[in-house]
Amino acid sequence: MEFLVRFETRLPDTMGEEERKRLREAERARAMRLREDGLLKRLWRVPGRRAVVGLWEAPDATALHDALASLPQFPWMDVTVEALAVHPQEV
């Protein structure tokens, strides 16, 4: 089942540049792994924002939550999830 997931990341002002860099790299590595596992299918950037729209596939909302919560930046992400149904023209 597919989900449209929108999130915006706001790291705290007090976080140092080194920690940010480390987090971003860990984020990228984890995202790559979620792609290999077939959970993360596409990502787009919302222009002008630190926000991302993503197309995810997971057996259910619980598995999706676990995948999202495994992202290193998850504690600073504001996430909204929209469940998608298959469109008849896609079958």
| Binding positions for its own copies, rule: CB under 8 A | 1-5, 7, 12-14, 28, 31-32, 42-49, 52-53, 59-62, 64-65, 68, 77, 79-90
CA trace torsion 86, 39, 27, 52 (10° rounding): 0
Q: How far is the CB of 66 from its own copies (least distance, A)?
A: 8
CA pair distance 27, 71, nearest whole angstrom: 6
CA pair distance 16, 38, nearest whole angstrom: 33
3-state secondary structure of 7: strand
Q: How far is the CB of 35 from its own copies (least distance, A)?
A: 8
Q: How far is the CB of 30 from its own copies (least distance, A)?
A: 11
